[in-house]
Amino acid sequence: MLGYIYAILFYAATAILVVGLAWKIWIYARTPAPLKIPTTPAPKTRGGVVLRMFREVVFFESLYKSNKWIWLFGWTFHMGMWLVLIRHLRYFTQPVWWWVEIAQPFGTYAAFAMLIGLGGLWARRVLVERIKYITNPSDHLMLGLLMGIVLSGMMMRFVTRTDIIAVKSYMLGLLRLEVGYMPADPVLMLHLLLVATLMIVFPISKLLHAPGVFFSPTRNQVDNPREKRHIAPWAAKLEN
Report domain extents, the chain.
Answer: 2-239
Quote the pLDDT of residue 236: 65
CATH class of the domain defined by 2-239 = mainly alpha
Identify how many contiguous H helices and E strands the chain contains and give both numbers: 12, 0
Give the residue among 69, 37, 4 at the shortest CA–CA distance from 216.
37
Quote the pLDDT of residue 238: 62
Quote the pLDDT of residue 40: 86
pTM score, whole prediction: 0.91
Quote the pLDDT of residue 36: 85
Query: Rounded distance, CA 240 to CA 237, Å?
Result: 5
Q: What is the pLDDT along the chain (240 residues), one digit of tens a residue?
A: 889 999 999 999 999 999 999 999 999 998 888 788 888 889 999 999 999 999 999 999 999 999 999 999 999 999 999 999 999 999 999 999 999 999 999 998 999 999 999 999 999 999 999 999 999 999 999 999 999 999 999 999 999 888 889 999 999 999 999 999 998 899 999 999 999 999 999 999 999 999 999 999 999 999 888 787 777 766 666 665
Quote the pLDDT of residue 28: 94
Quote the pLDDT of residue 239: 60
Quote the pLDDT of residue 224: 85
